[in-house]
């Protein structure tokens, strides 16, 4: 049977540097989920086994409020999605269409914040292609690239969206926005530490309000939290403090 190695040490888990020690309930849930996941990894690839480490399973537990069976179902769905979407193949050999998607710098991995979390920059005004599966592939490629840049002790990323120059011409469809939300929430749960929106248009707020009911309870909690926010218009002082931002944004901050 293929099994993933446990990385729980001294009642802590390899994850966010500020993560609290695991309580007894969480440890038991993790052990239960680990046992169930190992049973579905019997015929899994070595990449699947490597992907299903304890830090990963803990993120899925948090996303489902420590409900083991629901977390297991989400893990199962994600493994199936990663296989069908060919995530590893995408990272090993980037298709020309995905390279074209990234050529305009509409979505890319930049620096890191003071906690070492990679920052993904999104600039809709540089949309350079028609809507297709390649746009979603480019999103997944960028997420995977950010995750692979994370050092030990870091498991979240920052999403910085600059809507300057945004217009109806470069507005993605509701379908594409919902697919993006599904990828972030279901296939990369607990990876988003903070999303910052600059110059957000009214249309964006409308979509957010419509999609609000589709978010998990955990993300809804984050939306209301000042320390861990899914979507928040952040003050200039907070953004500038300890952030690795392009000069353009540092000028805006001054």
- Render pLDDT for 41-97 as a digit per residue (tens, 0 to 9): 977 778 899 999 999 999 999 999 999 999 999 999 999 999 999 999 999 999 999
**DSSP letter, residue 7:** -
Reported confidence tier of residue 247, pLDDT bands at 50, 70, 90:
low
**Distance between first and last Cα of the chain:** 57
pLDDT tens for residues 180-210?
889 999 999 999 988 887 777 766 655 555 4
pLDDT, mean over the chain: 78
Q: At residue 160, does pLDDT exceed 80?
A: yes
pLDDT tens for residues 102-136?
999 999 999 888 888 999 999 989 998 888 899 99
Q: At residue 166, does pLDDT exceed 90?
A: no
- Note the pTM of the prediction, 2 decimals: 0.79
Average pLDDT over residues 243-249: 57
Note the pLDDT of residue 198: 79
Contacts 24+ apart (CB under 8 A), 60-63: 60/33, 60/189, 60/190, 61/26, 61/29, 61/30, 61/33, 62/189, 62/190, 62/218, 63/185, 63/189, 63/190, 63/216, 63/218
Residues 6+ apart with CB under 8 A from 156: 16, 117, 190, 191, 192, 193, 194
Average pLDDT over residues 17-41: 88
Note the pLDDT of residue 204: 60
Note the pLDDT of residue 113: 85
Decide which of 171 and 76 is more confident: 76
Q: At residue 163, does pLDDT exceed 80?
A: yes
Q: Are 160 and 196 in contact (CB under 8 A)?
A: yes
Q: 112 pairs with which residues across the strands?
A: 118
Note the pLDDT of residue 207: 53
Q: Which domains does the chain have, with CATH numbers?
A: 8-85 (1.10.8.20), 95-253 (3.40.525.10)
**Reduced DSSP (H G I as helix, E B as strand, rest coil) percent helix, strand, coil of the chain, to 5:** 50, 15, 35
Q: Which helix (H) or strand (E) holds 57?
A: helix 54-63
Measured at the CA of 35, the angle between CA 34 and CA 36, to 5 degrees, comes to 95
Q: Indicate the pairing of strand 157-162 with strand 192-198.
A: parallel
Q: At residue 16, does pLDDT exceed 80?
A: no
* Structure tokens given for 254: 């001054």
Q: 108 pairs with which residues across the strands?
A: 121
Decide which of 77 and 14 is more confident: 77
Burial class (CB in 10 A: 0-12, 13-18, 19+), 46: exposed
């Amino acid at each position: 049977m293929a099994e993933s190695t446990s990385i729980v040490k001294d009642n802590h888990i390899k994850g966010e540097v500020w993560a609290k020690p695991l309580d007894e309930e969480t440890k038991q849930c993790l052990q239960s989920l680990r046992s169930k996941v190992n049973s579905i990894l019997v015929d899994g690839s070595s990449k699947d086994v490597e992907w299903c480490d304890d830090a990963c399973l803990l993120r899925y537990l948090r996303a489902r409020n420590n409900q083991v069976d629901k977390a297991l179902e989400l893990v199962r769905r994600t493994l199936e999605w990663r296989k069908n979407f060919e995530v590893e193949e995408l990272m090993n050999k980037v298709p020309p269409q995905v390279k074209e998607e990234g050529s305009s710098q509409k979505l890319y991995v930049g620096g890191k914040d003071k906690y070492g979390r990679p920052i993904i920059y999104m600039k809709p005004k540089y949309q350079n292609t028609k809507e297709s599966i390649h746009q979603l592939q480019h999103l997944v490629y960028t997420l995977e690239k950010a995750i692979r840049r994370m050092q030990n002790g870091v498991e979240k990323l920052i999403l910085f969206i600059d809507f300057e120059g945004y217009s109806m011409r470069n507005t993605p469809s509701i379908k594409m926005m919902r697919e993006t939300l599904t990828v972030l929430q279901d296939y990369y749960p607990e990876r988003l530490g903070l999303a910052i929106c600059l110059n957000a248009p009214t249309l964006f707020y409308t979509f957010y309000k419509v999609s609000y009911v589709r978010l998990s309870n955990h993300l809804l909690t984050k939306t209301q939290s000042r320390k861990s926010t899914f979507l928040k218009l952040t003050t200039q002082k907070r953004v500038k403090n300890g952030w690795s931002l392009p000069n353009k944004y540092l000028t805006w901050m001054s």
